[in-house]
């Protein structure tokens, strides 16, 4: 939506706040592109445990990379061991997961860019952190893409 990279360190800090981080898991899809290993290492350096799954390529060229069930299972397993589950996703497919965790008495927070997040997910969460409120903090400006005007352009 923004055509920019996300500052995952700032997102993690927003998710944790002044609490103690128990576990942060980043679910990634391996697509065999050169820069992905650097990205995965950067996530680990920030404090994420990286769980990777290979991109599935089906007959006819269709591709799929889906972690929804894995995220749901990990969350259900971890919920009894933590005070708060923070889901960094705007995917409305997670509404039943949020409802289930809450039925167990678990507090569930959602962190996402509000413009692209499911309204139902935002509504169901015990707390919703809208990253759109400070995009300068949560998005990285690629300085290499800044176009400098040439002399004589009148700019």
Over residues 32-66, the pLDDT tens digits come to 888 888 999 999 999 999 999 988 788 887 777 88
- Whether residue 152 lies inside any domain: the answer is no
**Dist CA 7 CA 13 (whole Å):** 10
- Whether residue 94 lies inside any domain: the answer is yes
Tally of domains within the chain = 1
Please determine, for residue 146, whether its predicted confidence score (pLDDT) is greater than 70.
no
pLDDT tens per residue across span 90-129: 999 999 999 999 999 999 999 999 999 999 999 999 999 9
- Whether residue 151 lies inside any domain: the answer is no
pLDDT tens per residue across span 60-82: 877 778 899 999 999 999 999 99
- Whether residue 41 lies inside any domain: the answer is yes
Average pLDDT over every residue of 15-38: 92
- Whether residue 148 lies inside any domain: the answer is no
- Whether residue 68 lies inside any domain: the answer is yes
Looking at residue 57, its pLDDT comes to: 80
Beta strands 5-6; 25-30: pairing state: unpaired
**Entry field: residues in the chain:** 155
**Dist CA 31 CA 16 (whole Å):** 29
User: Is the CB of residue 71 less than 8 Å from the CB of residue 49?
Assistant: no
CATH number (domain holding residue 114): 3.40.50.1010
Please determine, for residue 152, whether its predicted confidence score (pLDDT) is greater than 70.
no
CA atoms within 13 A on the CB side of 115: 7
**Higher-pLDDT residue of 137, 1:** 137
- Whether residue 154 lies inside any domain: the answer is no
- Partner residues linked to 29 by β-bridges: 53
Instruction: Tell me the chain's radius of gyration from C-alpha atoms.
Output: 18
Please determine, for residue 150, whether its predicted confidence score (pLDDT) is greater than 50.
no
**Dist CA 126 CA 32 (whole Å):** 37
**Dist CA 88 CA 111 (whole Å):** 5
Give the alpha-carbon dihedral of 118, 121, 122, 124, to 10 degrees.
160
**Dist CA 109 CA 47 (whole Å):** 19
Domain range for 38 is 5-141
- Whether residue 36 lies inside any domain: the answer is yes
């Amino acid at each position: 939506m923004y055509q920019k990279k996300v500052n995952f360190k700032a997102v993690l800090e927003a998710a944790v706040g002044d609490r103690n981080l128990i576990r942060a898991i980043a679910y990634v899809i391996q697509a065999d592109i050169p820069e992905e290993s650097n990205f995965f290492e950067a996530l680990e350096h920030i404090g994420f445990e990286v769980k990777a799954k290979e991109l599935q390529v089906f007959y006819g060229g269709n591709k799929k990379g889906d972690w929804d069930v894995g995220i749901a299972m990990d969350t259900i397993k971890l919920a009894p061991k933590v005070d708060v589950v923070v889901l960094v996703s705007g995917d409305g497919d997670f509404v039943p997961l949020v409802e289930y965790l809450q039925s167990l008495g678990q507090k569930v927070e959602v962190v996402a860019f509000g413009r692209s997040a499911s309204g139902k997910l935002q509504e169901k969460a015990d707390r919703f952190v809208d990253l759109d409120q400070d995009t300068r903090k949560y998005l990285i400006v690629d300085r290499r893409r800044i176009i400098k005007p040439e002399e004589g352009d009148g700019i």
